[in-house]
Amino acid sequence: MADSFQCKIVTPTAEAFSGDATYVSFPAWDGQYGMMKGISPLLSTLAPGTLRIDGDGGSTHYLIEGGFAHVDGDLLTLVTEGATPASELNLEEAKAELAEANARVTSDEKDRLAVERAQKIATAKVALASQSA
């Protein structure tokens, strides 16, 4: 692919994806970013949400759970706590996870941040599972 670049998704336990892409859309702390070949160097914090990778075989979607995105030359590296292919998500399980996260509401600051993170991940999971179903 002439207008492609290398894309990698790395988690603490494995490399979830490595291949060529023509476009990648990923959630950052300040909104959705899109990358094509030739983008300027970048380092950004990832937010929980949907990652889309376009290539010769169409689009692939992942649920990512935060982390960092790094662009250097023609390489995009996404280092994330978790990356789940959309095809592996179950809508009913995602809804149950969201209901459980919503039930954990607390006033303790430390716990509140953990609950908000769990809610964001579960909400993104429900949205992506709904889209894939």
In whole angstroms, give the CA distance from residue 67 to residue 104: 23
pTM for the whole thing? 0.83
CA 119 vs. chain centroid, Å, equals 15
Nearest by Cα to 74 from 6, 1, 24: 6
Domain boundaries defined on the chain: 5-86, 90-132
pLDDT at 2: 61
**Fold held by 5-86:** ATP Synthase; domain 1 (2.60.15)
Q: Is 66 left (phi over 0), alpha (psi -120 to 50) or beta?
A: left
Bridge partner list, 125: none
pLDDT tens, per residue, the chain with 133 residues: 568 999 999 999 999 999 999 999 999 999 999 999 988 899 999 999 999 999 988 899 999 998 999 999 889 999 999 999 999 998 999 999 888 888 887 667 778 888 888 889 888 889 888 887 6
